[in-house]
Structure 1
């Protein structure tokens, strides 16, 4: 049973009419603005009461994903922010705030009221342009020396893994991102962590969870030497990635020392290829792993050990292994730059 907010416990709310999204003979899907981080998306209905519309309160992050056709309207309205639904009428004067009456419905009733599967944002009759999406930019990596397709694939894989991780961290710490999405990110950390397959699956899961925004795509490759690889993605994410490489170059000894300090302890305690199932929460081993992982997270600069541990369901061993895997990927990218085989305009990596 879905837990829903009781109408008797919710304060009276109002919202501002924003626009019609789908119009046939009359407005069928409308959008209300209820604050900086929330919207109400509603459908016309006569199946509840005399009220004309049934709406779900959704976060801005949810609405962005809906506009990108990540899921249909049925999915969006069955999973609203804080499980909150309203019924309301639209006033004749659209400048007047809309009075919202909270409504407590069972999932079965909701399923009969909202549209069937298959109605996406692309089916709207009216355009929606109020939200400005992050621009997908092209990052050019200049390449030189001898390359083969396998090496291009290896280089792109390191970029993709780090890109997915940093984007997932951003979503996890963003208060506007729905709790359901954060739980989905956390599920990516649920792996055996007993060998290399877990690491590969982990980064693939993060990329899949984050959708298009967590996957940089190759736009073009020029094979000539010198040549280039053009990768399409978020400009801020590329800036952060390049900053990580520069940071690694400037702090390589400290990062490597802390990596070895953590890795050697996991090897010594036989936890490199074991899960934390046999590791007591209060054991000295777990505490020592946490301290060494914290030190690595601090010098590596991707994100804090504390955040990774939260993402990993407070599993210190998993957070430690993710940090080790992250360092290896940054180190491999650094090698491409330090060898003179890859460069980016405007930066120098020693």
Structure 2
């Protein structure tokens, strides 16, 4: 992966909350895509692969873990920022990882209604079936297993994931599709606020 300058165009009026939301979600998704590239390009074993993935705490710990796994020199840092109409933010970051984020945000923006509906249906069924405290091997009902598999494939398509990213997800989840579903839903929740900023023309990745 190559370090370089990534430019994000800024426009409209930004609040402090906008900057806070953008930076918080961007760094978490950055860590996620970094991890996907790391495990798909190498045979390295990352410590967060052993997480239990039972309950909401595991999701938070996972995203903190992937970010903490990145060497400080490879984290995104602000090089220059000009707040105007229009303005820009220049980041020193891994170009490939930043491109992954841009592609994800574009995918969400291009089908915002469809993907929001898909997520809502999946999340509603996920809660109804009480899957938060389970892994794939603990599912007894074939209908639950089919729901998980179909949901994972649907999110792969809606989020426009590459074969490399799908392979990385499988490696980090140890092939547990329910764990992978939890990762995908969490990734969408973190990318959605950035996509909303882009759809309002505040940020153009």
Q: Same fold (TM over 0.5)?
A: yes
Cross-structure match for 1:238? 98
Is 1:153 aligned to 2:153, yes or no?
Answer: no
* Uncovered stretches (5+) of structure 1, i.e. residues with no partner: 1-133, 345-350
Tell me: CA distance 1:247–1:222, structure 2 relative to 1, closer, same or farther (3 Å). same
- Equivalent residues of 1:164, 1:207 under 8 A apart: yes
- Equivalent residues of 1:207, 1:214 under 8 A apart: no
Tell me: CA distance 1:142–1:278, structure 2 relative to 1, closer, same or farther (3 Å). closer
Cross-structure match for 1:186? 49
Whose Rg is larger? Answer: 1
- Equivalent residues of 1:298, 1:305 under 8 A apart: no
* Uncovered stretches (5+) of structure 2, i.e. residues with no partner: none
Tell me: CA distance 1:214–1:298, structure 2 relative to 1, closer, same or farther (3 Å). farther
- Equivalent residues of 1:280, 1:286 under 8 A apart: no
CA distance in 1, matches of 2:98, 2:40: 19
Name the SS for the 1:289 alignment partner.
helix
CA distance in 2, matches of 1:235, 1:170: 12
- Equivalent residues of 1:143, 1:342 under 8 A apart: yes
Q: Whose strand fraction is larger, Structure 1's or Structure 2's? A: 1
Tell me: CA distance 1:323–1:278, structure 2 relative to 1, closer, same or farther (3 Å). closer
CA distance in 2, matches of 1:313, 1:238: 25
CA distance in 2, matches of 1:310, 1:167: 14
Shift of residue 307, structure 1, vs aligned partner: 4.2
Q: CA RMSD in A?
A: 2.7
Higher RCO, 1 vs 2 (CA within 8 Å, ≥6 residues apart): 2
Is 1:326 aligned to 2:187, yes or no?
Answer: yes
Cross-structure match for 1:338? 199
5 Å matches for 1:118-133? none
CA distance in 2, matches of 1:309, 1:278: 13
Shift of residue 204, structure 1, vs aligned partner: 1.6
